[in-house]
Structure 1
Amino acid sequence: MGTLRIHPFWNWNQFLFFSFLVIFLFPEISMSVDMLSGTESVVHNQTIVSEGDVFELGFFSPDDSGEWYVGIWYKNIPDRTYVWIANRDKPLSNSSGVFKVEDRNLVLLDQGNNLVWSSNITNGGTGSDDAVAAQLLDTGNLILREANNGETETESESTEHYLWQSFDYPTDTLLPGMKLGWDLNTGFNRFLTAWRTRTDPSTGDFSFKLDYHGFPEIFLWNKQGIEYRSGPWNGLRFSGVPEMKPLDYMTFTFLTNRDEVYYSFSITKRDLFSRLIVTPTGALQRLTWIPDTKQWNPFWYAPKDQCDDYRECGPYGICDTDASPVCKCPKGFSPKNQQAWNLRDGSGGCVRKTDLDCAKDKFLHLPNMKLPESTTSFVDRTMNLKDCEALCTRNCSCMAYSNWDIRNGGAGCVIWIGDLIDLRQYTDGGQDLFVRLAASDLEDGGNATVLITGTTAGAGVLVLALVAFVIWKKKAMQRKGKIEKKGPHERSQDLLLNEVVISSKKEYSSENNPDELELPLFDFDTLVTATDNFADENKLGQGGFGCVYMGRLVEGQEIAVKRLSKNSGQGTEEFKNEVKLIARLQHRNLVRLLGCCIEMDEKMLVYEYMENRSLDSVLFNKARSSLLNWQRRFNIICGIARGLLYLHQDSRFRIVHRDLKASNVLLDGEMNPKISDFGMARIFSGDQIEANTKRVVGTYGYMSPEYAMDGLFSTKSDVFSFGVLLLEVVSGKKNRGFYHSNSELNLLGHAWRTWKEGKGLELIDPAVGDTYEAQEVLRCIQVGLLCVQERAENRPTMSTVVLMLNSETATLAQPKTPGFCLGRNTLETDSSTSKQDESCTVNQVTVTMLDAR
C-alpha cells in the first residue's frame, strides 16, 4: 500500500479520466498483498488476497439483498463459495462500511463510524495499531498478530502467538486445518452453524457440535434436538461413519487429551479443495473441488437413511437398513410396545426378556456396530478387552463394554452405564460391542461341556429324530385338515400370500440370508370398523386401482386404507409389487406401509395417514396453494429428491419408481413429502443400468421420451419425472401431459422458453407471494430443466441433484433441449383414473397403446 504518485507529463484532467476508467472497468480492486496493517483498511470494491491467490476477503451482498457482510471466499472458483463471515448476524444496511485494525482489534464500522463487529480481544496487550497486522493465509484463516517488523506469517509457523484467528470462530464451513471441538483450558468451543437460508448467512437452526464428555462424539442439532450423531472416534474413524477411510490426499485427525478435544482433517494436494459444511436444511456435506471438472463434487453426506435418524429404534433397539423392518431387538430382548413395533414404529425400543442377575450375567457379542451414545460412558485407555470385561462384570450397573481404539487388535476400555441408545448395525464397518445379558438368554454352549458316552449320544440322537418325525407328521396332518376345511377364499388368501413371499425371495435371491416379509396382517372386520364401513365421507381419493379411505384403529391411530378394486387385474399385480417393495423400504421421505389385508375378494394395503393428503390436492388447488410458501415448496422438492436418491442409491436395492407424480407424493401434518405408490416400481440388480418393457405404464406428462417411445426405463427416467414434478411445484401448474388445450407449449416447453429468454422468475406460482429467494428459485428451475433433458445420458443422477439443490456453490451445467411434447390430443383425460388406448406425439414420434394409470 504505497503512495500514489502522478507522472510529471500527466495533467490533472488526464489523471482523473484514467482513475474514472479504472474504477469503471475494474469495480472490485484486489490488493496485491495479504496483509492489513494498522494504517490500512478495506472498503467496498476492495479485497485482500492470500499470498498463494487461494482465498479472498472483502465485502459482499448475497443475492443482491441490500445487506452487506465481510467474508472470505475462494479466489479462483467461479461460483463464489463463502467459507467465513465476520458479521453474519449484524449485516450492514449498505456498502459504506470500513474493515480495519483499530485498538489492536479487527473491527467493522458502518457509514456512521459505529461499531458493527469486532474481534473483541480483551488480552491483546497495549501499544499502537502499527504494532499489529491482519493477514489472510492460504488456508483461509484470517489472523491478527504482532507485526514482526513487516515479516509475513507462513503456514508452518505456530499459532500460539496469534492474537486472534477466524479459524476459532467458524460459520458453516470446516476447512483443512480447522479444529472442530474444545479448548479445555479456556472452555472455548468451536462448532459449525448453518446459514438461516441459502441467501441469508445469519445463524440458522442447525449446528454441528462435538461433546467431549465420556467417549467424545459429534452431534448434529436442530435447535435443542439431536438429529444425528457421528458415533465416537475408534482410532480409525467415527464408529457411525464406516465409509470414512484415510486417502492418499486426505487424512483425518481426532485428538483428545487433558488440554483439548477436537476433530480436524488435512489435504496434501495443493490443487484440491475440500470442505465440510452444514446446510440450511440440516444436512452434513463434504464437498471436494476437482480442477478437471471445475465443480464441487459430493464426497460424503449425512443423514443419508432412516438409521441415521437419532434414536430411530429407541433404547436397546438396533437399526439395520438391511433388515425389514429396520428396527430389531437383540437376542434376549423383545419390543417394548409390540403393537407399535408391528406398525413399524420402533421408537419405544426393546426391553429384556429376563431380569439380570449380576453374579451370573454373560455378554452378547454384537459385531459391526455403531457404538451407543457415549457421552455418559466411562473410558480407560490403559485396559485391554479382557480387563474391560472383568470391570464390567464386577459393576452391576455396566450394560455394555467395547474397545476404545480398534487399531492393532484393539486397546482401551469403554463401558456404558444405563440404557444403550441409538444402536446401529452395519454389513461392513463399525466395531464389536458386548451387551450384558441374562445367562439363560444367551445359550452359551461353549462354556457348558456335557460328558456323555458314544452309545448314549447315539441313542439320544435316534430318540430325538424319532420324536421330531412324529411331531412333523402330526403337524402335517393338521395342516392338511385345516386346508381342507378352508373355503376357496381363504385358500386364495394363502396362495396370494405365498406367491408374494416366494416371488419376493426370488427377487432378493442375491442376499445370503433373505428376510421373511414381516408385514402385519389386518383382518377385514378391523378395517371395516376403522373406516366406518368404507363410508364416502372417509374417502381420500380414487384411482384406477380403487379407493383410499381414512380410518382410525381402536387404539386411536389414524391410518389410510387402499382398497383395491375386486375386478382389477392391475390391482392384484400392484398389490403384490407394493408388498414386496415398500415393506422393505425405510426412509423419512417414503410413505410407511403398516400392513395388508387379504380376505375373500378383498385386497387392501394399510399406510400411515398423511394429514395433508397428496401434493396435487394442495398444489393445484387455488384455495389451498397459498399454504405452500416458497420455503415449504423448496423443502418438498428437497425431500422428494432425498427419497428418490434413497431408492436409486442408498436402499438395499436399486429401485426405479416409474410413476413419480404429484398425486403419488403425500404430505404429513408439517408438509413433509413422502413418496408413495410402488405398484409400478422395479428392482435393478447391482450392475443393471436400464431395462426394457413391452407394457409402458405411467402417467402422461411425467414419462421420459425413451420410456414412452421405446419402453426403456432406468433411474434416469425417474430423474425426468422428478424434473417435471419440480417445475410443477415451482409454477403451481400441471404439465398437462402430451398436449395443451390452447396449442401452446406444455409446462416444460414454457419453462424452457422463459429460461432461454432470461425470464425464469415469471414461472413462479403467484400464490407464493414475494417471500422467495430469486437465486434459489432460478437454481431450482435450472435443476428441473437439467432433469428433463431429452437425452437420458445428459440428465444428472439424483445424488448430483441433491447436491445442486442444497449447495449454492455447486456448478450447474446449462440445460439442453427438454423432452417436451409438441403434439396435440383432442381428448383431455385424467390418465391416473382411466385406462384407454390413445395416440400421442413425443418429439415428433408417434406412440400408441400407452397403458396409462
Structure 2
Amino acid sequence: MNSTTKCFAMNIILLNFLPILPSSTSIAIGSIKPNQPMRDGDVLLSSTKIFALGFFRPANSHNRYVGVWYNKVPNQTIVWVANRDNPIIPVTDNNASGVGLLAVHGNGGLVIYGKDQNTPLWSANVSVSSPYNSMTAKLLDTGNLVLLEEDNGLSQRVLWQGFDHPTNTILPFMKLGLDRRSKLNWFLTSWKSQDDPGIGNWSYRIDPSGVPQAFLYKGQAPRWRAGSWIGERWSGVPKVTNVIYNVSFVNNQDEFSIMYMMSESIFSRIVLGESGTIVPSIWHDQGQQWVKYWSAPEEECDEYGKCGVNSNCDSSNMGEFECTCLPGYEPKSPRDWYLRDGSGGCVRKSGVSICGNGDGFVKVARVKVPDSSKARVNMNLSWKACQQECLRNCSCKAYAKADERWGGFGCVTWHGDLMDTRAFSNAGQDLYVRVDAIVLAKYAKSNGSLSKKGKLAISLVSVLVFLLLVVPISYWLVRRKRKGKQRQNKYSPRVTTRSTYFEDSTAELDESSMHSDIPFFDLTTIAAATDNFSLANKLGKGGFGSVYKVVVFE
C-alpha cells in the first residue's frame, strides 16, 4: 500500500469514528472542524448571522444540496451551491433529509457525503501538505465559505473559498474575471431549472481580450453583450442612480477582475436566470421582496448582432425597422432589409475611397460601441491624438474614448467590421465612424456643423457660383435692355456667339410673371438657342438645374 493510500485509509477510519448525531437535531454552529462535521439539519452561520449555510432542497425536488442563503430574508434565497451537479438522493421520498454530511477531511479538504460515508459526492479538491486537522471551514459575512489553515487557533491562510467558484449569483465582494496566475476563471452559470441547481446552458463571463467586456452566452454562442468597460460601468448598461455601490476594476499581468461593493446593511445580488436573463436586485424590507433595478436582455436590440455588421440597432424606432446602416454604409442585401431582416448587415458603399481623399469621421451619439474583443486600445493617447491616429491608418474604421471619466481619455480603435452597435437614450458613449468626403459633407450640412476646412470650401464654392451665374446673367440683362431701345433701328440681323446662361425647368409661368421687366423665352426659343440642349453647349450644373451656352440672334 503506497503512502497516498495509507493516508486515505486513515482518514476514512477517522471519519467513521466521528460521533453520529440524530438527524432531527438542528444546531447553529460557527465553524466546521475535522472532528465537528455539519449534518443535514444543522446550520452554519456567519458571525453577524447575515448568511447561513446548510442543506436544502428545491421546492419540487427531493434531492438535497449544500448551499448558502440570506439568513435574514424570510423567503429562502439561495446564492451559492456546492454540490450542484451531485445531489444527495434520499433513500425514500418520505426520508428526504438527515442523510447528508459536510466535513473537513484530508481527502479534498472539504467534502460532502450522502448515505455512503465512504465515497464523497463532492469535494473542494484541495491538496494540503499540512495535517488536515489544522483546517477549519467558516462562513464569512460576505457569504463566502472559506477553508482556513489554522495554527493554535489563529488563521494562517485561505486554502479554498466558495467565491472562487460562483454559481448563478454575484454577491458584493465576489469577483468576475480571470486570475492569470492560478488560471481561475470567475463566471456565472445558470441553474438547469428552478428545481435543479445543476449547471445550465447559460453563462455570464468577462472577455479580457482587446478591450474588456462582459458577455452572456448560450452554450458557446454570445447572446448579449454588456459592452466595453468605460471606467465606471459597461457601456451597454444604463446608469443606475438610485443604487449606491463602489466598483473595483483590476487589469494587470496577474489578474483581470471586476467586483462591486455595497454596505452590509443592504442585501443585493445579481442573478443569471434559467432563461438567460441577468437581473440585479435589492431586498426591500418594507415590501418584503426583491426589487430589480434593471435587467438584460429585454429588447430586440439586446440580441447580439441583431442587425449584422456595420449597422446600428435602435429599439426606439417605434413601428419602423430597428436596423439602420452606420454612416457611409448601405445594406448588403436591400431585399432582406426591405423584408425587415437585418442579419446580413451593411457594407461600405460602392466606389467609395476612405483613405486620404478628404475623409473624416461622423459622430454616432450614445451607443453601445461595437464588439471590442479585437479592437486596439492606447490609454496614453489624448482625444485629439486618437482621431489623428485613426485617420493616419487606412484600416481604422472607427474610434471612441477608452474611459468616460473626467471628460474622457484613452483611445479605442476598430480595424475591421463593426459588430453589435446599438443606440441608447440613457447609456452608451459616442462612436466616431470613418466616412468619405461626400458623406462627411452631407452629415456636416444636415447637422449644421462644419469644420474650418469645410466652411472654407463652401465659401469658395459660393463665390465661384456667384461669378459663374450671377455676373453673366446681370450682364445679359443689361444688354437685353439696351437692345430693346434699339429695336426701332431695323438693321439686318447678324449672328454672334456669346456665352450666357439658362436653367432648364419645366415649371409653368403664372400670369403675373408675364408682366415682369425680366424677359422670358418660350421652350422652343431656348431649345433652338441651345441646339436642343446639346451636351456640347452644357457648361455645368447649378443649384436649380443644368447650365447651357446659347447662340443669341441680334
Unaligned runs of 5+ in 1: 1-21, 154-159, 477-853
- Which of residues 237, 249, 267 is equivalent to 2:262? 267
Higher strand share: 2
Partner of 1:607: none
Deviation at residue 254 of structure 1 after TM alignment: 2.7
Displacement after TM superposition at 1:248 (Å): 6.1
Distance 2:208 2:47 in 1: 36
Cα distance in structure 1, aligned partners of 2:403 and 2:46? 39
- TM-aligned CA deviation for residue 358 of structure 1: 2.2
Tell me the distance in 1 between the aligned counterparts of 2:330 and 2:123. 57
The residue matched to 1:231 in structure 2 has which SS? strand
- Is the deviation greater in 357-366 or in 334-343? 357-366
**1:258 has 2:262 as partner:** no
What is the distance in 1 between the residues matched to 2:221 and 2:214?
A: 14
What residue number does 1:302 align with?
Answer: 296
Q: Distance in 2 between matches of 1:232 and 1:310?
A: 14
1:194 is matched with which residue: 190, 196, 199? 190
**1:210 touches 1:218 (CA, 8 Å); kept in 2?**
yes
Would the aligned equivalents of 2:354 and 2:434 in 1 still touch at CA under 8 Å?
no
Match of 2:133 among 127, 130, 133: 130
> Which residue of the partner structure matches residue 238 of structure 1?
234
In the other structure, the counterpart of 1:121 is: 126
1:191-235 CA-to-partner distances (Å, cap 9, x unmatched) read 000000011100101110111111011110111211100001101
1:441 pairs, out of 431, 439, 443, with 439
- Structure 2: distance between partners of 1:468 and 1:228: 59
| Pairing partner for 1:105 from 109, 115, 118 | 109
Mapped to 1, the partners of 2:362 and 2:53 lie a distance apart of: 56
Larger Rg: 2
Determine the structure 2 residue equivalent to 1:791: none
Partner of 2:525: none
- Whole-Å Cα distance in 2 between the matches of residues 148 and 290 of structure 1? 42
CA distance in 2, matches of 1:453, 1:345: 42
Is the counterpart of residue 59 in structure 1 residue 62 in structure 2?
Answer: no
* Aligned-partner SS, 2:402: coil
CA contact (8 A) 2:176 2:186 kept: yes
Determine if the alignment matches structure 1 residue 400 to structure 2 residue 398: yes
Q: Secondary structure at the match of 2:294?
A: strand
Partner of 2:325: 329
Alpha carbons 1:271, 1:291 under 8 Å: kept: no
User: Which residue matches 1:359?
Assistant: 356
1:475 shift after superposition: 13
Counterpart of 2:42, as a letter, is Q
Task: Tell me by how many angstroms 1:470 deviates.
Answer: 8.5
**Does residue 343 of the first structure (1) align with residue 339 of the second (2)?**
yes
The one-letter amino acid of 2:157's match is H
| Counterparts of 1:280 and 1:165, CA distance in 2 | 25
Q: Is the 8 A contact 2:397 2:414 kept in 1?
A: yes
1:186 positional shift = 2.2
Give the residue type in structure 1 aligned to 2:250. L
Is residue 179 from structure 1 mapped to residue 184 from structure 2 by the alignment?
no
CA distance in 2 between partners of 1:292 and 1:281 (Å): 29
Is 2:286 the counterpart of 1:292? yes
Query: Are 2:89 and 1:84 aligned?
Result: no
What are the superposed Cα offsets for residues 673-730 of structure 1, whole Å, 9 maximum, x if unpaired?
xxxxxxxxxxxxxxxxxxxxxxxxxxxxxxxxxxxxxxxxxxxxxxxxxxxxxxxxxx
User: Helix, strand or coil: the match of 1:307?
Assistant: helix
What displacement does 1:363 show?
Answer: 1.9
After superposition, where does 1:14-33 map in structure 2 within 5 Å? Answer: 27=24, 29-31=26-28, 33=29
Alignment of 1:593-742 (within 5 A): none
In the alignment, is residue 73 of structure 1 matched against residue 73 of structure 2?
no
- Aligned-pair identity (%): 36
1:396, CA displacement in angstroms?
A: 2.1
Distance verdict in 2 for CA 1:471–1:427, change over 3 Å = farther
CA distance in 1, matches of 2:54, 2:461: 87
- Counterpart of 1:418 in structure 2 is 416
**Number of aligned residues:** 438
Q: Does 1:279 align with 2:295?
A: no
Paired residues of 1:28 and 1:47 also in contact (CA < 8 A): no
Unaligned ranges ≥5, structure 2: 1-20, 91-96, 445-449, 472-500, 511-554
2:146 aligned partner, one-letter code: I
Calculate the aligned-residue CA RMSD, in Å.
Answer: 2.8
The amino acid across from 1:260 in the alignment is E
CA deviation string 1:787-826 (max 9, x = no partner): xxxxxxxxxxxxxxxxxxxxxxxxxxxxxxxxxxxxxxxx
| 1:276 alignment partner AA | I
**Equivalent position amino acid for 1:106 in 2:** L
- 1:258 aligned partner, one-letter code: Q
Distance 1:201 1:357, change over 3 A: same
Opposite residue 133 of structure 1, the aligned amino acid is: T
Paired with 1:472 and 1:91, the residues of 2 have a C-alpha distance of 85
User: Greater share of helix residues, 1 or 2?
Assistant: 1
Residue 272 of structure 1 contacts residue 291 of structure 1 at CA under 8 Å; is this kept in 2?
no
| Displacement after TM superposition at 1:456 (Å) | 7.0
| Structure 1 outlier segments of 4+, above 6 Å | 453-463, 467-470
- Rate the CA distance shift 1:140–1:357 in 2: closer, same or farther, 3 A: same
Task: State the SS of the aligned residue for 1:201.
Answer: strand
Q: Distance in 1 between matches of 2:112 and 2:159?
A: 17
Separation (CA, whole Å) in 1 of partners of 2:461 and 2:165: 74
Output aligned runs, 1:356-395, within 5 Å.
Answer: 356-360=353-357, 361-395=359-393
Local SS of the residue matching 1:241: coil
442 and 454 in structure 1: CA distance in 2 versus 1, 3 angstrom threshold: closer
Q: TM-score, normalised by structure 1?
A: 0.49
**Partner SS for 1:162:** strand
CA 1:352 to 1:59, structure 2 compared with 1: closer, same or farther past 3 Å? same
Q: 1:475 to 1:349 in 2, by over 3 A?
A: farther
Partner SS for 1:29 = coil
Residue pairs, 1:436-515, within 5 angstroms: 436-443=434-441, 446=451, 447-448=453-454, 449-450=456-457, 451=459, 473=507
SS at structure 1 position matched to 2:281: strand
Q: Counterpart amino acid of 2:400? A: S
Which amino acid in structure 2 is aligned with residue 77 of structure 1?
V
* Structure 1 residue 383: Cα displacement: 1.1
Q: Give deviations 1:37-73, integer Å, cap 9, x for gaps.
A: 2211011111111111111111112125221111111
Pair 475,65 (structure 1): closer, same or farther in 2 beyond 3 Å: farther
Does the CA contact (< 8 Å) of 2:191 and 2:200 recur in 1?
yes
**Aligned partner (choices 162, 166, 174) of residue 162 of structure 2:** 166
Please tell me the residue identity of whatever aligns with 2:302: D
Residue in 2 aligned with 1:249? 244
Q: Structure 1's 253 and 300: CA in aligned 2 closer, same or farther, altered over 3 A? A: farther
The alpha-carbon distance between structure 1 residues 130 and 333, as it changes in their structure 2 partners (threshold 3 A), is: same
Decide which of 309, 318, 322 is 1:315's aligned counterpart: 309
The answer (yes or no) to whether the contact 2:327–2:433 under 8 Å persists in 1 is no
Q: Deviations over 1:715-747 (max 9, x none)?
A: xxxxxxxxxxxxxxxxxxxxxxxxxxxxxxxxx
- The code of the aligned residue for 2:111 comes to V
Contact 1:54–1:138 (8 Å) recurs in 2: yes
Which residue of structure 1 lines up, in the alignment, with residue 142 of structure 2?
139
Deviation, 1:462, is 7.7
Instruction: Tell me, in whole angstroms, the C-alpha distance in 2 between the residues paired with 1:261 and 1:106.
Output: 28
- Give the secondary structure class of the aligned counterpart of 1:401: strand
1:208 aligns to what?
204
TM-score, normalized by length of structure 2? 0.74
Letter in 2 for 1:111: K
Q: State the 1:243 CA deviation.
A: 2.9
Give yes or no for contact 2:60–2:195 (8 Å, CA) kept in 1.
no
Q: CA deviation at 1:330?
A: 2.1
1:23 Cα deviation from its structure 2 partner: 8.1
